[in-house]
Amino acid sequence: MGHKVDFVCRACRYEERDLGLGRGRMPVPYLRLFSCDNCHSVGSTWVDDATTPRCSLCYHDGIQLLADDAETSVCPKCGERGAFIHHRDQIWE
């Protein structure tokens, strides 16, 4: 099962809401957080062993996967520190 995550940058007000993170009923694929330098975004993307993970917005394959429990990350829009807010009570399966 997974939960929802929001990314918020207080410096430039960039935000991404309702990102999915975790596994569904099957162990693969699963959703991971990422940062994309190509389109300057953060998000979540499906990851498995057979395919290359891609940005869910621009489909670029040069993304940086982030830790599932990441609390902060560099904002892709302004370069300041933004925060991930994990909503562990909002479960999806």
pLDDT digits (tens, 9 = 90+) for 4-60: 999 999 999 999 999 999 998 888 899 999 999 999 999 999 999 899 999 999 999
- Short-list 33, 2, 11, CA closest to 82: 11
Closest CA to 35 of 69, 2, 1, 67: 67
Q: Total domain count for the chain? A: 1
**Bridge partners (DSSP) listed for residue 19:** 5
Question: Which range of residues forms the domain containing residue 45?
Answer: 2-92
Whole-angstrom CA distances from 35 to 25, 60, 75 are 25, 11, 9
Indicate the pTM of the whole model. Answer: 0.90
21 by Cβ neighbours in 10 Å (0-12 / 13-18 / 19+) ranks as: buried
